[in-house]
Structure 1
Amino acid sequence: MKIFGIILIAIGVIMFVVTGISYTTEETIIDAGPIEVSADKENEVNWPPYAGGVAVLAGLLVVAMARKK
């Protein structure tokens, strides 16, 4: 359980520093027989900064509970 808490703390700190990620997908716009037109589309996944704080607090709670046993 202690390892899980440490992982939560690390993820929370990373979420504070990096507030989102972006990735690119290729979409087909026109597919008419031998002619195919595609375009790259950039997608983003963002999370609020307080989500990192919640993960850090949860990790600290898990580490504290593991110590008491």
Structure 2
Amino acid sequence: MNGIRIFAITAIVAGILALGYGGFSYTKDTTAAKVGPMELTVKEQETVNIPVWAGVAAIAIGGIALVAGGKR
């Protein structure tokens, strides 16, 4: 399997996952206050939304790369 096929399959899978989940979230630690030896940290949950057009574009680019990569 060459590099173009691996890229194409990865892009298609990433596009399908982006359409299926629509985004992901992660936890970020932030220092709110620091007074002497004491430190107050806050855990914030951030959410990243992936647009539908990005998922569709990833699937389309992966499909084009898969077809173009196989015609050598």
Matched, 1:16 2:19: yes
- Of residues 53, 56, 59, the one that matches 2:56 is 53
- TM value normalised by structure 2: 0.85
Pairs aligned (count):
69
**What is the aligned-residue RMSD (CA, Å)?**
1.1
- Of residues 6, 9, 16, the one that matches 1:6 is 9
Unaligned runs of 5+ in 1: none
Identity %, equivalent residues: 30
- TM value normalised by structure 1: 0.88
Unaligned runs of 5+ in 2: none
Report the Cα distance in structure 1 between the residues aligned to 2:55 and 2:49, rounded to whole angstroms.
Answer: 12
